[in-house]
Chain A
Amino acid sequence: NAGVTQTPKFRILKIGQSMTLQCAQDMNHNYMYWYRQDPGMGLKLIYYSVGAGITDKGEVPNGYNVSRSTTEDFPLRLELAAPSQTSVYFCASISREAGTEAFFGQGTRLTVV
């Protein structure tokens, strides 16, 4: 049982490049979330999903896109990377039926130069 797995762990992008941050969970959780955490700051919600085929914007969605074709996977797409997107990205999943504890991945540290 791996929990929530994020790949890659580290990435350096050049301005204008695109990439996809992968997130997979094996707990059959319906709810999945993407956050960004800037240095010394809290977690800002980018996008979330309450099930396959359903996604919704969070607090800071601009510059990002998501899709949820399966229960297990919730990739985050960065188009035209900008220095302001330099951050640590966390994926999380929740089972509302099992008590609402959020399980987090280890994070992806992204630097845009």
Chain B
Amino acid sequence: AQTVTQSQPEMSVQEAETVTLSCTYDTSESDYYLFWYKQPPSRQMILVIRQEAYKQQNATENRFSVNFQKAAKSFSLKISDSQLGDAAMYFCAYMDDTDKLIFGTGTRLQVFP
């Protein structure tokens, strides 16, 4: 079965600095999607960034970028120029042709002024 592992329960970063959140996954599939979702205290789930496994180029959305290492089954999220509003839980997620959308356990990001 596919699994998603986030080994950092908590991370902290200073405002304007850069932080990287880690995610690894296990699958035998070759085609799949990977996601990072943000959950602020409001509990709303917000898509941050998405990567399709067949695309070798790393996805980027403004201050958010990923380092996708398919062979290593690694999918880390880099947040540049961190802002106070980035403080939230961040979840890594995986989806393939089985149509299950599976989440990791999350990383709580604190941003200090």
Contacts and interface: CB of A to CB of B under 8 A. Distances in A.
Bound pair (A, B):
yes
Interface of A: 31, 33, 35, 41-45, 48, 50, 56, 58-59, 88, 90, 92, 94, 96, 99-102, 104, 106-107
Interface string B11-45: 00000000000000000000001010100000111
Nearest to B99: A50
14 contacts: A42-B103, A42-B106, A43-B91, A43-B103, A45-B101, A45-B102, A48-B100, A48-B101, A90-B45, A96-B99, A99-B50, A102-B45, A104-B44, A104-B45
B83 interface: no
A33 B101 contact: yes
Q: How large is the interface on B (under 10, 10 to 19, 20 to 34, 35 or more residues)?
A: 20 to 34
A100 B50 contact: yes
Nearest to B92: A42
